[in-house]
């Protein structure tokens, strides 16, 4: 009787595991916010500030800026001020790694002839580690962004993103084709591309 009972309990557990594994996983939803006062038709030109970097890797912030620029331009509705022009102005004004205020944002918008300033920081970074062909840790990217309109009398935050993308997360894998799901859990550069693509889509209003 004990053997039968154990087998019965084991069967129930196995059935439960099978049912759970069959539940479809929804693609990751981006944690984004948009002001109810936002008038998208007033925003045509965006200046993207160099990202602050709390993650330690010096090159990742620049890579994200480049990729996000590409993805935003592919929407076909915005112009993006050349990154080198923005960086030169930031250096000239000694604005590296400082918290900007309304006056600074307004000045940047005026000098760059931009309708909005996009700024933020890399909040997390993990390249991913592989040992003996086994993935020990998946790549992780955390990003916090906000877009400030300088069209109003007082600069106003009109759009924000605060999210983390983990290449090993099932919901993140659902953002790509099946053939690329192995790649996204080990290639941090591919993860950055996917992340920037999904973030840019939230600007397609």
Question: Is 77 a domain residue?
Answer: yes
What pTM did the predictor assign?
Answer: 0.83
Question: Is 172 a domain residue?
Answer: yes
| pLDDT grade for 163, boundaries at 50, 70 and 90 | very high
* Listed residue (118, 138, 120, 119) closest to 128, CA to CA: 138
Question: Is 68 a domain residue?
Answer: yes
Question: Is 152 a domain residue?
Answer: yes
Residue 147 has pLDDT above 80, yes or no: yes
In this prediction, residue 19 carries a pLDDT of: 43
- 97-138 pLDDT per residue, tens: 777 888 889 999 999 999 999 999 999 999 877 665 555 789
* Structural domain containing residue 157: 42-201
Question: Is 108 a domain residue?
Answer: yes
* Number of domains present in the structure of the chain: 1
- 8-28 pLDDT per residue, tens: 555 555 444 444 445 678 999
Our CA dihedral for 164, 168, 173, 176, rounded to 10 degrees, sits at 80
Least confident of 70-79, 96-105, 111-120, 145-154: 96-105
Question: Is 115 a domain residue?
Answer: yes
The CATH number for 194's domain is 3.40.50.10610
Question: Is 30 a domain residue?
Answer: no
Residue 157 has pLDDT above 80, yes or no: yes
Question: Is 31 a domain residue?
Answer: no
């Amino acid at each position: 009787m004990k053997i039968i009972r154990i087998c019965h309990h084991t069967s129930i557990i196995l059935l439960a595991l099978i049912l759970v594994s069959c539940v479809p996983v929804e693609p990751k939803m981006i944690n984004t916010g948009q002001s109810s006062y936002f008038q998208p038709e007033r925003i045509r030109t965006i200046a993207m500030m160099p990202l602050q970097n709390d993650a330690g890797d010096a090159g990742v912030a620049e890579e994200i800026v480049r990729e996000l620029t590409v993805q935003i331009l592919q929407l076909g509705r915005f112009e993006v001020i050349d990154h080198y022009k923005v960086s030169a102005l930031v250096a000239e004004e000694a604005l590296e790694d400082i918290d900007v205020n309304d006056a600074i944002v307004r000045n940047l918008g005026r000098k760059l002839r931009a309708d909005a300033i996009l700024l933020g920081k890399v909040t997390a970074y993990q390249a991913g580690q592989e040992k003996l062909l086994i993935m020990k840790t998946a790549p992780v990217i955390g990003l916090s962004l906000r877009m400030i309109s300088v069209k109003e009398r007082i600069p106003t935050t009109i759009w924000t993103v605060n999210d983390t993308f983990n290449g090993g997360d099932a919901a993140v894998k659902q953002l790509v084709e099946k053939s690329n799901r192995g790649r996204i859990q080990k290639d941090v550069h591919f993860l950055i591309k996917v992340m920037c693509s999904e973030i840019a889509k939230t600007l397609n209003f």
